[in-house]
Amino acid sequence: MTAAVERFVQKMSSTRAFARVAPHFVPALDRTLHRLTGGKILLSARMLPSLLLTARGAKSGLARRTPLACMPEGDGPRGWILVGSNFGRPGHPDWTANLLAHPDAEISWRGRDIAVRARLLRGAEREAAWAAVVKFWPPYARYQARVEREIRLFRLEWR
């Protein structure tokens, strides 16, 4: 993606209009493309690295599949950071409650299924990760400015 296109996408994705509309079509489109391409394509991955998280529902215990942007850690990668931004809307996204209740999950990363364990980041570890994700994708700072809650950050590690 060229620098100009990236700036445009960042500006557009941090608007309130995008926050109202995107949660209704981006995840559904990503799930469909993921299924049709055998896990090789997520539309959101054209903007940011993305994965498909499969976690058990906090209340139901049923498998819930959620396409999410992520920040890979390392070239391997050795882990991933997930940002519970909810597009800058109030309230934590449901998938964060699922990981709090059931931290053992699975991701589909570039067509490969990987067993992971999620850990909510706190304190200095969260502050360092937050600085990294804001540098990685600046709209996260605008999302945080719009909400009173602290955006949850999770580190996914290989199991």
- Report residue 20 CA to chain centroid gap: 17
pLDDT range class, residue 19, cuts 50, 70, 90? low
Q: How many domains does the chain have?
A: 1
- Taking residues 67-83, report their average pLDDT: 92
Helix (H, G, I), strand (E, B) or coil at 75: coil
Pick the residue with more confidence: 46 or 128? Answer: 128
Q: What is the mean pLDDT of residues 33-61?
A: 79
Structure tokens at 83: 């940002």
**Cα atoms in the 13 Å half-sphere on the side-chain side of 27:** 16
- CATH assignment at residue 123: 2.30.110.10
**Range ranked top by mean pLDDT from 18-22, 136-140, 153-157:** 153-157
Residue 103: closest CA among 154, 49, 39, 46: 154
Domain span at residue 103? 3-158
Residue-wise burial string across 69-100, b where 16 or more C-beta atoms lie within 10 A, e elsewhere:
bbbbbeeebebbbbbbbbbbbeebbbbbbbbe
Query: Is pTM beyond 0.85 here?
Result: no
Give the separation between CA 58 and CA 130, rounded to whole angstroms. 25
For position 105, what pLDDT does the model report? 98
